[in-house]
Amino acid sequence: MVSSGLFYLILHIYVYPFFLCGRLFKCFQNRHTLENALMGQWFLPGTKHFHHVCIVFPGHRLSQQMHYHRNEHWIVIQGTARITNGDKDIYIHENESTYIAKTIQHRLENPGIIPLEIIEIQTGVYLEEDDIVRFDDVYGRLKS
């Protein structure tokens, strides 16, 4: 379930500008999707955008991974995140953020009892999903 704060953030960033220019229905129909994943849900504001909202269920985690071509900024909007960034493990909370540089192994986990919601901003010359190199994955997505 998306929190009311996240709803208003999405409303003001993505919906309101399209409402002003008269394209509200088209905006929702063509640009907004909610994808279910094994560890939670991904809200994708557009097909080629560089940011999204990630919801990680309590007790779940993403794969230990790295990227050759993109950096990531993670901002926690609800919950507590346990982050492995290279050889450091840190905890960040609501309204805190961290930066993951390309080629650094990293992992995001939700150690809490409420859903973890983060905004992930990707920057780099290549932002496609095939730039993920997984080292450890509890969901069986490692390539042999």
CATH number, domain with residue 103: 2.60.120.10
Strand partners, 73: 99, 121
In a domain, 69, yes or no: yes
pLDDT higher than threshold 80 for residue 144: no
* Model confidence pLDDT, tens digit, residues 56-112: 999 999 999 999 999 999 999 999 999 999 999 999 999 999 999 999 999 999 999
For residues 98 and 115, give the distance between their C-alpha atoms in angstroms, rounded to a whole number: 19
Total-model pTM:
0.67
pLDDT higher than threshold 60 for residue 21: no
Please, which contacts does 125-132 make with residues 24 or more away whose CB atoms are closer than 8 Å? 125/69, 126/68, 126/69, 126/70, 127/50, 127/69, 127/70, 131/67, 131/68, 131/69, 131/70, 132/63, 132/65, 132/67
In a domain, 87, yes or no: yes
Give the residue-averaged pLDDT of 21-49. 47
Q: How confident is the model at residue 15 (pLDDT cuts 50, 70, 90)?
A: very low
In a domain, 9, yes or no: no
More confident residue, 19 or 125: 125
pLDDT higher than threshold 80 for residue 2: no
Residues spanned by the domain of 121: 33-136
In a domain, 101, yes or no: yes
In a domain, 96, yes or no: yes
Quote helix, strand, coil % in the chain, to nearest 5. Answer: 20, 40, 40
CB 124 within 8 Å of CB 70: yes
In a domain, 13, yes or no: no
In a domain, 21, yes or no: no
**How many domains in the chain?**
1
In a domain, 119, yes or no: yes
pLDDT higher than threshold 60 for residue 47: no
